[in-house]
Structure 1
Amino acid sequence: MKKLIFIKMLLLVSCGSESTTTESINNSKVSFPVEIYLTNTLNDSRGYCLDIIGYKDNANVSKGLQSHSCYSYQGQISVDQGFDSERISQKEFYIPHFKVCMQAQKIQESSLIDLKACDKNENQKFILQANGEINPESNLNLCLTVSKTFREGGGGSPIHLIRDLSLEICDESLISYQKWGTRKSN
């Protein structure tokens, strides 16, 4: 009898208007930081990640975005390489620590990549495709591309490496420089 009363009370409580349903749990989106990395490590075993020019908390958003040795080998994603996972799925490459979005200077070949306050303008809308390409939504023939040349950064052991970023025509022969992925850590 006590079990039956307990079950009825449990049902009443769980059927209340403020209860959490499976549907509301499934509809809630959980965001977490991810690094966006080039799937081909090229000449750096740590890989290349999208990165704000500068160093971690002291990065300078006005200098734009580059590809840089991934920091996750240090055990966590760095604030200057951490993108909001949920907003990527909404075509917005947002770096929460600095409250900025990736933005192409222009939607054309050879355009460089800046960081600006998010305002959902055309130059901020990018799609991470299933094949790993990152394209401006308004021109799917352009791909986010790392340069073939690299330079040494200012720290790390071994020394960190840097490559410039630009929009270039998507090309199968450039797949090593145009295919990206996301991950929680290295």
Structure 2
Amino acid sequence: MRIATRLLSRSAASSMVVAAALALVGVQAAGQAASAAPKKAPSAVTCTAANMKVTVTEAARPINHLLLKATNTGTKPCYAYSAPHLRAGADAQAPLPWARETTPQAVVTLEPGQSAYAGVLTYSPDGEGGGNEKTLGVYFADRKGGVAGKEKTLKLPNGGTFFNSAATVTYWQDNAADALSW
């Protein structure tokens, strides 16, 4: 009887040790899972003139092109939707058309400090009319392609740039080479 009681006591003690060990492992795993939970990422916003620094430069190649660069100066990621709405000159009646063949596969998302690029064809021999413009008005697009925020007015390089009816702008790209490759 003593042997049976001793075996029963040992087996009960072993079971209690195993149960305690499993409980401890469960508590530790729960603590690790809680500490390993990802921090909530800041939600992205729409890129606008308020959270972007925008510059325009003359492209070396191809000829008759400008490069628009927009850098996220905000603290949250932002979406550069579609293409910029551009107004060539203070008296422009309509924005430059978007080059639909440059639509990227996804919306360009910019982390703080990252840039998006758009290429601007200023004129073509096939175009009509035109004139030398000194400023370029830039509006960012919202999710539906409308205007988001206020205009950012830039001075054009060389004291002015010639635009005619063939002028177009690309969709936002994540690198300058793609923006100027069309």
- TM-score, with length taken from structure 2: 0.24
- TM-score, with length taken from structure 1: 0.24
Larger radius of gyration: 2
